[in-house]
Amino acid sequence: MVFKQSIIRQLFKLTTVQTIVASNAGKQEDEDDITLVPVIKNDQANLMTHRFIDWIPKDIPLLTRLPHSHYWYYIRNASIISLIIIAGCTGLFKLWGLISLILLPLAIWLGWYAAKNNGYYIGDQQLIISNGHLLTRSVSIIETKNIQSFEINQSIWMTRSGLAHFVIHIRSKNGDKELSLRYLTKTEADNLFNWLS
């Protein structure tokens, strides 16, 4: 189950409820999720969904969030991409290319938004993962028996800083849907791995 909110819907406290399809039940081949409720108030979404699917909690519990010191990694990644674009535009279009400098504060904001919305919760039968991407917040509630595989990823630099990405794979249609929690401490990633093992 996925609860999605664009930045506009967050302002008006509205959400969309979708289900992750485990077979080819969608109308189109590229359709991953089926929308159950196009628009509903935040405070009613979980309660309404719980009536039909009892393992969904009535309220989203308090999620474990990234520490503020880890926000830097998201901001850095978004800023690097924008700086490459800015350098290209400035090199090609000279003075007009300087207008692309507006991308840098936008990238910083997108990185902060993604980090702020990253979180997880371990329940009795479910794992809840929250992500933010391009000003859309997604809260995925996955029944643990539907998790096909999970892994911990670390680059060389992450090993030195004690960080890791925790990635889970669930079946979506006839393929795979990947959900990740990025820049967790290695201890947190190990705890999640051991809990699912």
Averaged confidence pLDDT in the chain:
88
Mean predicted confidence (pLDDT) in 131-144? 92
Token pair belonging to 97:
């290319």
Cβ-based neighbour number of residue 89 at 10 Å = 17
Ranked by mean pLDDT, the top range of 84-88, 93-97, 152-156, 175-179 is 152-156
pLDDT in the model for residue 89: 87
Beta strands in 52-187 (DSSP E): 64-65, 119-122, 126-133, 136-143, 147-153, 163-172, 175-185
Q: Position of tokens 């503020």?
A: 68
Give mean pLDDT, residues 16-26: 71
Over range 31-49, report the average pLDDT. 84
pLDDT tier at 116, thresholds 50, 70, 90? very high
**Alpha-carbon gap, residue 13 to 8, rounded angstroms:** 9
**Range 68-75 average pLDDT:** 95
**pTM across the whole model:** 0.85
Q: How large is the average pLDDT for residues 176-189?
A: 93
Report, as an integer, the average pLDDT of 5-15.
93
Domains in the chain: boundaries: 2-66+118-196, 70-110
